[in-house]
Structure 1
Amino acid sequence: MPVPAVVRDSFIGTVVYFASGQQYFRHPEEQPDFVLPEKYAKASQKRLTQRSDRSDASSQTQSEAATIIVDWYSPDDPECPRNWSFFKRCFVTFNICLLTFSIYIGSAIYSPGIELVAEQFGVSDVAATLGLTLFVVGYGIGPMFLSPLSEIPQFGRTTVYILAMLVFVCVQVPTALSKNLGALLPLRFLAGFVGSPPLATGGASVADMWAPEDRAVVIGLWGLAAVCGPVLGPLAGGFAAQAKGWTWTIWILLRISGGSLAWLSLTLPETSAQAILFRRADRLRRLTGNPNLKSQGEIDGEHMTMGEIAQMTLVRPFLLTFREPIVFVMNLYVALAYSILYLFIASFNVVFIENHGSNLGENGLAFMGLFIGAIVTYAFFAPYAIYVLKPIFQNCAHFIPENRLPVAMVGATFLPISLFWFGWTSFSSINFIVPIIGSAFFSVGTFLLFQAGLNYLSDCYPRYVASILAGNDFFRSCVGAAFPLFSTAFFHDLGVGQACSVLGGITVAMIPIPFISYSYGARIRAWSKYAD
């Protein structure tokens, strides 16, 4: 049955393939016109010949012990994600962005209902805010345990994403039906935990398909989807909470994530080269009867101990974060920006509901400033990445990781500009559109900082990208999760202007970080045994 490759290689396509006993959704190796590459044909023929020669037992043993590595059939192998058509790579990239957005929106979509949760359950606003905090903590801790599964060839990325998303969707039902805070909070943590794999390794899925010189553009697009989740969450949640109560923020999340799950289960193919080659090796073994055909990832997995897996997933991210100055400083900076973003979300209630008299739905519309700021920033950043960064990257003799940092220098200056502007134009006597415009510059700063910071760390430590990104996600999520707990008191006690000035002063103090890293980063990396 001829089907598109994206469907054949999707989660549902794989289920149908195995459930039918490999009769439906067949792969090229299982088609009648498939020609076995000479490398594998010779190896299989040699093995059959030696097995028939019963007089030479030692030769038989050596032959069966010799492993033949299954790789791409040619540099232009169409099964390799880097060789997919431009349209297919764009389509799958969109799917990864949709997956990321559908999870990230789950944090802030809850925020408009916090006061309603407190009122219904008879608890304080701080206690109700734990529903937001624990979700963020969950998707900070989750990648340390779940994301490494996507690196195992037997699983691959898509299987982990879809199964995690399935649990995420199912958890929303008891969450919306919770009758007390004791039931709500563990479910919110569990939702963040199981939804975490695409948040940590979605960028790796995108990088599977695109060459390194294109990474800035596509990772930027994936980052845009991640930013839009918490920004658009209050917009969707505000109208829902106003009309139907806090539970409808969760029902809306269920519809968004459930619709995404249905679509992605059928249209998101595997992108991990290790997983694709593992499945190819399995098909070739069945085709030739030669058990010595194995992929490199399969061989590596057979020799990895549980201790090595624990070292890779639980120890190395912390080791790199606290022993590598570059990693620690960039993680701290990104965590600061991430934390202030959640403080920003809380300040909108004070500015637009209390000062300007907006309702929950209208308050959600105020977040369009952050959204538009992110969109416009990417519209300007993409040409810069294509026409400036890409030529530098292609000329490897002149490319160093510090070439990523001028973008962060620009972004660092926009953070304090936005905070001072927003804080001192938040009074009821000033038209509401003025602070909304000021908030847009915060998106400019955070987008550029995230884009430059994460790519810079990945370039500095290419052998440990998974650990670097997992550690960054854990660090920024745990720091960011704490800020909403004191946000309302912070803005009430100091006033929005003074509170934003404190935050603006902190971001001013952090401005030198990308400049210092640009000037001395190469020298610091030279001292490290982990950096390249």
Structure 2
Amino acid sequence: MNEQQSIKSFDSSSSSIGDESQAPEQYVPKEYTADGEANSRGNQLNLTRTETAKTLQDMGMTSEAPLPDINAPQGSKKPAIFPEEYTMETPTGLVPVVTLQSIGRNSSAISRTRTRQIEGSNFENEEGEGESPSSQSFLHKLRTTQTQHSVSTQTGEDEPDNHLDPEIEFVTFVTNDPANPHNWPLWIRWTYTILLSTLVICVAYGSACVTGGFGTIEKKFHVSLEAAILSCSLMVIGFSVGPLLWSPVSDLYGRRVAYFFSMGLYVIFNIPCAIAPNLGCLLACRFLCGVWSSSGLCLVGGSIADMFPSETRGKAIAFFAYSPYCGPVFGPLVNGFISVSTGRMDLIFWVNMAFAGVMWIISSAIPETYAPVILKRRAAKLRKETGNPKIMTEQEAQGITFNEMMSACVIRPLKFSITEPVLFMTCFYVCLIYSLLYAFFFAYPVIFGELYGYKDNMIGLMFIPILIGASFAVLTTFWCESQYLKLVKTRKPTPEDRLLGAKIGAPFAAIALWMLGATTYNHRMWLAPASSGMPFGFGMVLIYYSLNNYIIDCYVQYASSALATKVFLRSAGGAAFPLFTTQMYHKLGLHWASWLLAFICTAMIALPFAFSYYGKELRHKLSKFDYSIDAIED
């Protein structure tokens, strides 16, 4: 009798063992040698508990699959039949595909649910070549048929229900699982949140560390200020390129692996920056520093979200919103004193390397937080222990091709930047605020250096009000989050409900620039232009926090791709503004240069208010497809 026959015969007599609806069970093959000892394969069966349709339904599962969590694996075009796998805890830790199918979870049902108002082609199951190494060894075991699926809302054609082998068993966390980051003690999760936010500050600090010592670069390499400014801009450009590398690494191998290699390379490449023999070497290494360190910007938000359920992660994410905007402020604040005291360019990079080295050690020591990778490792252990090759995660079962990975990480974000006007306008506002922060690094030397005669160390102190304003903004985000949670209890939320923070912060960013322009007439009142940084820091963090959440809710089905679009556009703006800010202040004058930016910021105040009142209609009219939560739940 072969293995399949053994399973069928056991299933047919399962009633003699017990009521399956009462005792969740499944049978895992195990081979026994002549002397009775177990081997890894064979024709006899070992009893292993798994979930049944009844136990899943008792936990609230229905035939309609919910949206995947924002941190669910990206890339595969195949619809997930069990998106709760990475957030749900089950008593047994194993959920058979056949059981999911018995309650209505199959590819055709999921496709009908997910593709109601979006591109049907996004959910086509196109078998391709070039599967990732982590999935190649399992693919021939996973599917009982090799069919081409072409499901779309236009045709209404159903996918076959059996595109996954029904004998596959998906791994979940068990009830109160200590390996589940959601179950870690609260103080540990908040400690990791603060440490990871410090990692973001470290990376952002590195991009602006040279702004306090451009004179040292000019002096060492005998170049112009414009050439020296490239050492800042090129690292910020690296921030837009790096996520294309580190996001797939994180999805396949985990956050910890990505932090270890990326931050390690970042530490190493600070060495040639410090001892660069010419400007070309410095610029090339600064760009690579941006590529390597960008993991701290593109993954930390996900790491924090890994540790908190969606309903409680808002306050933790507020710290992440604070970090990338305050980190650069420490650059001129710290290195202005290094530049004036020592005049050494290399010391700026040695200090940056030391900071990065400490954060490399800390980030590498933080346990893995990414649930798909934690469960993937558990599945590998269970396969070894039980001899059952069909225990795996849905990410492994679905597999992913190189083309699918490129589509999710590169093509879709670029496509969104062109085809999604609502996303583009939202990202443009985020880009503007981020760019203005970098503009301050070059406006302040003109204002306080040329008008007041301050050196780099005193100019760096003028950035302190920005930090103060940003700190007040973090406290305000806590209030905004509490208001949102109250609203959720009374009605179904919409993406536009996330715009409260932007509506509060937008006027403050504009007021700051009007103040800066108006107070640079009289050089005896240095406190007035410096104090303009406080409303700017306050508005900056609130706008970013609010619009970041708005993007996630508007593009919940492809949140990672939408956020990648934001990172790309934000970094492009942050790299461009330093290249013309100094010349703009020289040509237009100290007040008109600030007022030009103030006019733009004032016009942008309308965006969060317009989206708040007309957002749903605008999304339906301006976007070809609706990717928001409304498209699923309406």
Structure 1, residues 82-101: CA drift from partner, whole Å, max 9, x if none?
A: 22221121111112112111
Amino acid at match of 1:52: N
Contact 1:133 1:481 in 2 (8 A): yes
Structure 1, residues 257-307: CA drift from partner, whole Å, max 9, x if none?
A: 1111122322x111111011011112222222322211222223x3x1111
Note the 1:457-476 alignment, pairs <5 A.
457-476=551-570
Structure 1, residues 18-44: CA drift from partner, whole Å, max 9, x if none?
A: xxxxxxxxxxxxxxxxxxxx9688435
Match of 2:384 among 261, 282, 286: 286
Separation in 2, partners of 1:160, 1:354: 44
Structure 1, residues 102-158: CA drift from partner, whole Å, max 9, x if none?
A: 111111111122122122212111111100000000011211232222112xx1111
Aligned twin of 2:485: 390
Mapped pair 1:508 → 2:594: no
Aligned twin of 1:195: 293
Note the 1:4-19 alignment, pairs <5 A.
none
Note the 1:177-326 alignment, pairs <5 A.
177-244=275-342, 245-266=344-365, 268-300=366-398, 302=399, 304-326=400-422
Aligned twin of 1:448: 542
Separation in 1, partners of 2:239, 2:386: 44
Structure 1, residues 361-395: CA drift from partner, whole Å, max 9, x if none?
A: 12111111111110112123213323x12222355
Per the normalisation by structure 1, the TM-score is 0.86
Aligned twin of 1:519: 613
Aligned twin of 2:52: none
Contact 2:29 2:43 in 1 (8 A): no
Aligned twin of 1:339: 435
Note the 1:100-111 alignment, pairs <5 A.
100-111=200-211
Amino acid at match of 1:383: W
Equivalent residue of 2:525, what SS? coil
Separation in 1, partners of 2:533, 2:618: 35
- Stretch moving more, 289-298 or 408-417: 289-298
Aligned twin of 2:503: 409
- Stretch moving more, 188-197 or 39-48: 39-48
Match of 2:170 among 69, 88, 92: 69
Match of 1:51 among 28, 42, 52: 42
Separation in 2, partners of 1:40, 1:441: 61
Contact 1:216 1:455 in 2 (8 A): no
Structure 1, residues 471-513: CA drift from partner, whole Å, max 9, x if none?
A: 1001111122111011111111212111000000111111111
Aligned twin of 2:94: none
- Stretch moving more, 373-382 or 167-176: 373-382
* 308 and 384 in structure 1: CA distance in 2 versus 1, 3 angstrom threshold: closer
Note the 1:86-101 alignment, pairs <5 A.
86-101=186-201
Separation in 1, partners of 2:480, 2:431: 25
What percent of counterpart residues are identical?
33
Mapped pair 1:419 → 2:516: no
CA RMSD, Structure 1 to Structure 2 (Å): 2.2
- 1:441 Cα shift? 0.6
Separation in 2, partners of 1:436, 1:39: 67
Contact 1:92 1:269 in 2 (8 A): no
Equivalent residue of 1:214, what SS? coil
- 1:355 Cα shift? 1.7
Contact 1:138 1:196 in 2 (8 A): yes
Equivalent residue of 1:212, what SS? coil
Aligned residues: 480
Amino acid at match of 1:384: C
Task: Name stretches of at least 5 consecutive residues in structure 1 with no aligned partner.
Answer: 1-37, 55-60
**Larger proportion of helix:** 1
Aligned twin of 2:424: 328
Separation in 2, partners of 1:40, 1:173: 58
Separation in 2, partners of 1:65, 1:401: 37
Note the 1:348-387 alignment, pairs <5 A.
348-386=444-482
Task: Name stretches of at least 5 consecutive residues in structure 2 with no aligned partner.
Answer: 1-22, 33-37, 46-140, 145-164, 630-634
Contact 2:498 2:549 in 1 (8 A): yes
Contact 2:30 2:42 in 1 (8 A): no
- 1:51 Cα shift? 2.2
Which of 1 and 2 has higher RCO (CA within 8 Å, sep 6+)?
1
Equivalent residue of 1:43, what SS? strand
Per the normalisation by structure 2, the TM-score is 0.72
Contact 1:355 1:427 in 2 (8 A): no
Structure 1, residues 199-250: CA drift from partner, whole Å, max 9, x if none?
A: 0121111111112222331111111121221111111111112222222221
Aligned twin of 2:102: none
- 1:53 Cα shift? 5.4
- 1:421 Cα shift? 0.6
Match of 1:530 among 616, 624, 627: 627
